[in-house]
Structure 1
């Protein structure tokens, strides 16, 4: 069973505050040119995407430094749907399992395209450190494993990109803006091949694969 866990890339889609806007527009049409071509303008962290260490670590690896098989993960899904807006995901939610990646299922993709999407649950710094200590990449169905700036931010929230630094500094990849994690099982294979860019991140087509038991 294959499940698409990606948001479609389209004009005006939601991005991290301050990131480049997304535009998908015709550059050639059947009527005028006899063929169709779309012009796509977007940032490297558009939609469902992977973060390479170079995103936050000055000497971190770029995507082209990883073999293609690094983007196929033995994944464990952790249900965090009981958490509310801007709640931290605590370290005791990090599973001690033999896996490549933990996918934190917050259900926050239901808010995609709204202001409320900015107010997702986030990884507490010690939870991110626990993932890094266990060599686990992290996937979230939210904009960010760190708190995203918004008017609703609390004064006690961790500042900056502490989860990013813990994970990417430990060579653990991050996948953001996954969708429909409810369609996969608690143990699944996540395939998330990035565009062939030698950069700090890239959009992916994230696919969850589960086998019939």
Structure 2
């Protein structure tokens, strides 16, 4: 029996954008219809548009850039949870207990915000990755503290995923970023495979 592959990425040109960031722009550079040899598209975008990952360098000037983050952070078993509202330290502990055997990567679906207290619990556990549906893992109006806690502990962030049609449970995640040398983050095509 084939295992189902679930795309959890946003389409880039209709994606959600963090307040203040420029949206992605697509430009047709060449067109077969106009007599050109091929179709060619040019892109202009922020590295954090749509579904993307944050490297430590995003908030830490001495942190590693996205091209230096080991790929095993983005690829492997993960656990998907559903949660609405603030993720508290107690919520974080409950999540970690529930997925004890698979808790290297954790994805949280729903309208939620990871609090600094929860971030500390996740950081102490030594997770490789935390993902969420918002364009930022922490509070939108003050994301710095949560990012510093998680990225400072080497936990990479997968932001802007879409989990509305994904049930809680264990999956195999692939969310490898584009290899952008020296950058603070990068877009990715994130998907889950049923285990």
What's the TM-score bracket when you normalise by the shorter of the two chains? 0.7 to 0.9
* SS class of match (1:183): coil
C-alpha contact (below 8 Å) 1:75/1:188 kept by paired residues? yes
Within a 5 Å distance, the mapping from 1:147-158 to structure 2 comes to: 147-149=139-141
2:189, 2:143 → 1: CA distance? 28
* SS class of match (1:126): helix
Pairing 1:101–2:105 present: yes
1:129, 1:200 → 2: CA distance? 22
Q: Which runs of 4+ in 1 moved over 6 A?
A: none
TM-superposed deviation, 1:160: 4.6
For these two proteins, the number of residue pairs brought into alignment is 183
**Given the alignment, which residue of 120, 139, 152 partners 1:129?**
120
Within a 5 Å distance, the mapping from 1:1-213 to structure 2 comes to: 1-10=4-13, 13-32=15-34, 33-80=36-83, 83=84, 87-94=85-92, 95-96=96-97, 97-98=100-101, 99-106=103-110, 108=111, 121-136=112-127, 137-149=129-141, 159-198=142-181, 199-211=183-195
Q: C-alpha root-mean-square deviation of aligned residues, in Å?
A: 1.6
TM-superposed deviation, 1:185: 4.5
Unaligned runs of 5+ in 2: none
**What TM-score results when the alignment is normalised by the length of structure 2?**
0.87
TM-superposed deviation, 1:69: 2.9
1:73, 1:184 → 2: CA distance? 18
1:190, 1:20 → 2: CA distance? 28
Larger deviation: 66-75 or 164-173? 66-75
2:162, 2:73 → 1: CA distance? 21
TM-superposed deviation, 1:180: 2.8
**What TM-score results when the alignment is normalised by the length of structure 1?**
0.80
Unaligned runs of 5+ in 1: 109-120, 150-158
